[in-house]
Amino acid sequence: MKNLKAIIVDDERLARINLRKLLAQHKQIEIVGEAGSCSEAGSLINFYKPDLIFLDIQLSGETGFDLLEIANPAVKVVFVTAYDEYALRAFEINAMDYLLKPVDPERLKVTVERLCGAENEEKERKTGFEYTDKIYARLNNYTSRFISISSITFIEPVGNYSMAYTINKQHFLVLKTLKQWEDELPADHFIRIHRSSIINIDHIDRIEKDTMAQQKAYIKNLPQPLEVSRRYARRLKNIFSNPVLTV
């Protein structure tokens, strides 16, 4: 397995030095840069295109979550922080792990093993759903039926479950996280536009900007538009060259 290119983002120089020393024991991780702010980290990300970010949450005047709005959604994130109150939000955005300072070497070893295991699983994972596949889903307490993957318009999280909506206004609850859906759905048809939504690009009616320059995706047969976060906006924009879509 190739090494994982990583950057360390922390506004405390000593914390960056300590983490780099700990990571030096793990040859699978190659530290290519360090940053003390989101702007510095953004430049490193654009230049090195890292696989992984070790990210502090509380930075001077900003937070690590701000960086994730501009980072490539495919990059893996491990939060390294002195505070544990952000753990829930961290895992809501599919962070790989959450380490508390001072970082315990044995706990870091577990994290690295998890990262390498996830990398191997990603390479070995079988292709998920085909666009023409069907999934057997329960619509309510009395009705279950096969639903075409192509008919799914929008998926949102509901606790440990997720709710999927179809073009004919049906919806069904599935024991899958959005990350699982994202891994299994055909990437040429489905795209994540927010940490709480995946959409089928074939069912997009239009994309518009509101008065605050926030992008909204209008989905066919969905009464309200969906917010497109800045983190995913560029990825969505790159998909479309159709002039009908006002991205």
Containing structural domain, residue 179:
134-239
Q: Specify the number of domains making up the chain.
A: 2
Q: What residues pair up with 135 in beta bridges, in sequence order?
A: 147
At residue 126, the pLDDT reads: 47
Render each residue's pLDDT in the chain as its tens digit; 247 residues: 578 999 999 999 999 999 999 999 999 999 999 999 999 999 999 899 999 999 998 898 888 888 877 777 778 899 998 877 766 566 555 678 889 999 999 999 989 988 887 655 555 444 478 898 888 777 776 777 778 999 999 999 987 789 999 999 889 888 888 888 988 899 889 999 998 999 999 999 988 887 777 889 999 988 899 999 887 887 777 666 444 444 3
The structure tokens listed for 143 are 């009705």
Q: Is 50 found in the same domain as 114? A: yes
Any residues with CB less than 8 A from the CB of 59 and at least 6 apart, and which?
Answer: 9, 10, 11, 36, 37, 38, 66
Write the CA distances from 175 to 130, 143, 156, 178, integer angstroms. 19, 17, 12, 10
Domain assignment present for residue 129? The answer is no
Domain assignment present for residue 244? The answer is no
Comparing CA positions, the residue from 75, 78, 73 lying closest to residue 96 is 78
At residue 122, the pLDDT reads: 52
At residue 213, the pLDDT reads: 73
At residue 242, the pLDDT reads: 46
At residue 119, the pLDDT reads: 57
Q: Is 174 found in the same domain as 106? A: no
| Residue where one domain finishes, among candidates 96, 124, 152 | 124
Q: Is 34 found in the same domain as 142? A: no
Cis, peptide link before residue 50, omega less than 30° from 0: no
Q: Is 226 found in the same domain as 190? A: yes
pTM: 0.52
